[in-house]
Structure 1
Amino acid sequence: MKTIILIGLVGLAAQLVDGALGMAYGVTTTTLLLAIGTNPATASATVHLAEIGTTLISGISHWKFGNVDWKVVRRIALPGAVGAFVGATVLSNLSTESAAPIMAIILLALGIYILTRFTFQGIPRGHLGKPLRKRFLAPLGLLAGFVDATGGGGWGPVGTPAILASGRLEPRKVIGSIDTSEFVIALAASLGFLFSLGSQGINVGWVLAILAGGVIAAPLAAWLVRHVPPRLLGASVGGIIVLTNTRSLFRSGWFEIGGTLQTVAYGVIVLAWAGCFAYSLRAYLQDRDTESADHLTEEANKNAVAV
């Protein structure tokens, strides 16, 4: 019972993060399931089955708040579904011993990306309002869908930064569109796992716990996307993912590292994580102060013209 409650809380927290960042739901929940001993294919299948419900509620919530660009959803969802189905089939046919460290590496890479992306990079706005072309969105969807299924998460970490980097769509609509299209990706990946694995090893109680937590959090997450500083949230979540999947790699036997060196490695990661969070906090406060000063200057100029 304690495990079910814990998994439900993780589903809730992961959906809050995903709704605010447009990424990290699958990465966060899959990392937890791997940490408690679930095999990679079953972990990814469990998360994607739960995501069918959470992404549906999340998509509806983002639509209600006006966070969705339906042209982007249409152009990226179908290629993403193809990539997710293929990725699920590939992962299902790997042995557990081979799949565990491979998934840990993918999740570790995604964690590093999330951590560095939201710590050091701002959001470009120079091309805001220009249309996103199908020749950009289709290959992006195919790649993101494949990574999502094989890594247990990756639709957001691959798709969201790429669209943000184009600077053609405002951030809240990037996040809302990626979250909404993820329903199709979760459905395709789940079908791929069910065709390849059947229902063997999938704990329905865990699926329902993750789903319940995500459904509760989805409407709140759609509202939070307007208010939560992405830099701080990204730095926090990225650090957790890096630390947990480094531990998984050490336990996989791929790296013959003694206990002392492992402790040192964990210490370095924690220090780097703390440094990233501190940097993110300082950058956020500086940006907020700059925006406030610019707003005051603009208001002063308007008042001067009016006089």
Structure 2
Amino acid sequence: MTSLPRNNHITDVPPQKSEGNQLFPVFLKLNNLHTVLVGGGNVGLEKLTAMLNNSHDAAVTVIAKTFLPQVEALAAGTPKLTLVQKAFVDTDLDNADLVIAATDDVELNAYIRQSAHDRKLLINVADKPDLCDFYLGSIVQKGDLKIGISTNGKSPTVAKRLKEVFSEALPDELDTTLQQMSQIRNKLSGDFAYKVEELNRVTAILVGGKKPPSFNAIKLVVWSAFVAFLAITITSLWFREPAFQSFVTNVNPQFYYFLGAGFVFALIDGAIGMSYGVTSTTFSLSMGIPPASASMGVHLSEILSNGIAGWMHYRMGNVNWKLFKLLLIPGIVGAATGAYLVSSLEHYSVYTKPLVSLYTLILGFVILSKAININRKRTTAKIKRIPLLGLGGGFIDAVGGGGWGSIVLSTLIAGGRHPRFSLGTVKLSRFFIALVSSATFILMLNGKHWEAVAGLVIGSALASPVAARISNKISAKAIMFAVAVIVILISLRSVGLFIFKLI
């Protein structure tokens, strides 16, 4: 039996020489290896803590003449951590797989290194990069995601600073995405190439949200065909069917006003994740629509628009399911209660209308505040009472015709939640909130102002596919400022007219 020459490679392309960091990163299963750490002082504690933070079940033997109390405390709570109080001898490495020298004795560290190399063992010598076979780099961890950072031994301090940057930039909810991706991968059928293509498509959002060109091309063709078909159909009916022309000309002009308003408000909502309810309600009140009917129109239009937006966020992996479950039921209860209450007071709209205008005025200032602070770093601890937030948000949203985004989304983000996952979760849950509120309004109210409702429904639905994707295209801060100013001015006008009538 002949053996292949040692230079017989799979490919004829020679490896390319590169400059800079020549280290090859690996992730070790320390719980399956035996690590011998020599040194029980501050350096030894630092090395030991780094290992146990990443692998609590790591099998580590620490050898030193004396130990810091912190090292002894770690040993008390770590089953596979063994402390041996003695001077180091080379036979201590007989059963080792990895070695770390963390003493302040230069000669002892050199002796440990030689003993390790005599046994073909890899060793890390603290603060001596030239003597190391491997480095303990800074680690960023988000659940199952782990990222190692190396500066090639040049500056551990820079590595620590980069760790802080990445830890803050990467959302905690990214671990949820990993779990979902694992489930998707296990459910995929087909050959390897198909699976790779599907996983690339699903994870495209992580690198900027772009889909593969083929997907964009197909989507563009479908939407272009739909718009062209709609234009041809309406034009043909207008010129060839007098009955259709008569129907269109007899439609209440309010329908067209609300059609355009619904489209614009849905686009704004897609850009900043809030304000559809407050802008639509403010506009409806200014057009003479009573509060309950205005809220019904807003929520009916949000069923389809938020259903589409929620589905798209789900497809992009932007939904935190644990957060979704905590918001949903309390939000539904609050929405149903609020819709019932405001519907019961529909006959007193002359009094409830200024109260709702006052509410939209407050929300206007809330949005303005968010616009001012949009780029400021938030250090508030994550909000814990999610069900209470959902209950209050659902109730106020139904009573005032909006506020789920302004209240719930802004509170989640201000409380430390990641904006992308918060937006996706709030959008999807909003679909169910709008569904329950709308059903309650329909049962409680007689059919009125349907031209306004229909305009909002159709306008927001047409904008939904675009709205979910424009958040990175335009300045959210500028839009929030504009929305806040408009809402404040219109709300002040409504409240002022009511006060003027009383006088």
Which residue is equivalent to 1:182?
430
Contact 1:124 1:167 survives alignment (8 Å): no
Selected match of 1:140 from 370, 389, 402: 389
Question: Relative to total residues, which structure has the larger strand share, 1 or 2?
Answer: 2
TM-score by length of 2: 0.47
Quickly say closer, same or farther: Cα 1:255–1:67, change in 2 above 3 A: farther
Alignment of 1:8-19 (within 5 A): 8-19=259-270
Whether 2:364 is the aligned partner of 1:111: answer: yes
Deviations 1:145-167 (A, max 9, x none): 11101111110110011100111
Rounded to whole Å, the distance in 1 between the matches of 2:280 and 2:365 is: 17
Partner of 1:195: 443
Q: 1:216 aligns with which of 445, 462, 468?
A: 462
Alignment of 1:267-282 (within 5 A): none
Work out which of the two has the higher radius of gyration on C-alpha atoms and give 1 or 2. Answer: 2
* 2:171 alignment partner in structure 1: none
Q: Secondary structure at the match of 1:227?
A: coil
The CA distance in 2 between the partners of 1:160 and 1:122, in whole Å, is 16
TM-score (norm 1): 0.76
- Separation of aligned partners in 2, 1:125 and 1:33: 35
Matched, 1:58 2:309: yes
CA RMSD of aligned residues (A): 2.1
Matching of residues 33-72 of structure 1 within 5 Å:
33-72=284-323
Contact 1:65 1:222 in 2 (8 A): no
- Residue 194 of structure 1: how far off its partner (Å): 2.4
Conserved 8 A contact 2:267-2:466: yes
Q: Offset of 1:191 from its aligned partner?
A: 2.1
> How far apart in 2 are the matches of 1:119 and 1:162?
15
Give deviations 1:84-131, integer Å, cap 9, x for gaps.
11111111122112211110011110011101211234354658xx9x
1:21 pairs with 264, 272, 276, which one? 272
Cα distance in 2 for residues equivalent to 1:52 and 1:254: 37
Which 4+ stretches in 1 moved above 6 angstroms? 254-257
1:271 matched residue in structure 2: none
Give the partner amino acid of 1:111: G
Contact 1:76 1:141 in 2 (8 A): yes
Q: Distance in 2 between matches of 1:254 and 1:161?
A: 34
Change in CA separation of 1:174 and 1:88 when aligned onto 2, cut-off 3 Å: same
* 2:354 maps to 1:101: yes
Please give the secondary structure, in 1, of the residue aligned with 2:468.
helix
- Checking the alignment, whether the CA contact within 8 Å between 2:301 and 2:461 is kept in structure 1 is no
Report the Cα distance in structure 2 between the residues aligned to 1:243 and 1:117, rounded to whole angstroms. 18
Q: For residues 215-243 of structure 1, give each alpha carbon's deviation from its aligned partner in whole angstroms, at most 9, with x where no partner exists.
A: 12112121112333221111111111101
| Partner in structure 1 of residue 401 of structure 2 | 152
CA distance in 1 between partners of 2:412 and 2:361 (Å): 22
Instruction: Check 1:140–1:254 CA distance in 2 against 1; reply closer, same or farther (3 A cut).
Output: farther
User: More relative contact order in 1 or in 2 (CA 8 Å, sep 6+)?
Assistant: 1
- Cα distance in 2 for partners of 1:59, 1:108 equals 28
Whether the 8 Å contact between 1:123 and 1:164 is mirrored in structure 2 is no
One-letter code of the match for 2:489? L
The 3-state SS of whatever aligns with 1:224 is coil
- Give how far 1:65 is off: 3.0
The count of residues paired between Structure 1 and Structure 2 equals 250
Conserved in 1, the CA contact under 8 Å of 2:271 and 2:476?
Answer: yes
Contact 1:85/1:192 (CA < 8 Å) preserved in 2?
Answer: yes
Match for residue 237 of structure 1?
483
**Bigger proportion of residues as helix:** 1
The C-alpha deviation readout for 1:160-214, integer Å capped at 9, x for no partner, is: 1110011132x122222111110111111112222322x33241x3323212211
Does the 8 Å contact 1:45/1:202 carry over to 2? no
**In 2 relative to 1, CA 225–65 (structure 1 residues): closer, same or farther, beyond 3 Å?**
farther
Q: CA deviation at 1:74?
A: 1.8
